[in-house]
Structure 1
Amino acid sequence: MSARIVFLGPLRDLVGVDDLDVPAPLDWSGLLEAVPPSVADQLKLERVNIACAGRVLSDKTALCAQDGEEVALLPPVSGG
């Protein structure tokens, strides 16, 4: 049983990989432990969002990813 963490944008650059499979179920504390400290620090910031199974979480600390689900780490978007 596993969930997949997908790193996007600058978070991918911090980790050096596109994704990571981790044991499921995956909660907020498990996510912070599964990623490198530099990414965990970013996740704690309000401007970084998390999507689980295709839905952006309004409260990322309520994360509960089940087997086969994807957790996308969404850095802030800039544009012009």
Structure 2
Amino acid sequence: MKAKLVFLGRLEEQAGRGFEDIAASAPLDWTDVLGWLGDWHSIEFAEAVDGEKVKVALNGALVADKHGIVLNDGDEIAFLPPVSGG
């Protein structure tokens, strides 16, 4: 199973790249994704992504409850940081 993680805005800066392809032997739930982010980047980065201000889109659609996400083969999950505007 392969999936793509996409980091937008300042999350891209923190991650050091705009995306990361991941492979797993089975679908990944939200806890698995956070564990992978913690191992790949840092626990602090995973905690930031898990925070209530970071929104998540799965295959282009915003997800209301990111804790219910399950990534399957070919899925793309995008992490959207809070945006300030005026």
TM-score between the two structures when normalised by the length of structure 2: 0.84
Q: Equivalent of 1:46, from 27, 52, 59?
A: 52
The residue that corresponds to 1:27 in the other structure is 29
Where structure 1 has 5 or more consecutive residues not aligned to the other structure, the ranges are none
Identity of aligned residues (%): 41
Cα RMSD of the aligned pairs, angstroms, is 1.2
Aligned length: 80
User: How big is the shift at 1:68?
Assistant: 0.8
Moved over 4 A (4+): none
User: How big is the shift at 1:44?
Assistant: 2.2
Within 5 A, what are the aligned runs for 1:54-73?
Answer: 54-73=60-79
Where structure 2 has 5 or more consecutive residues not aligned to the other structure, the ranges are none
The residue that corresponds to 2:12 in the other structure is 12
Which residue identity is paired with 2:20?
Answer: L
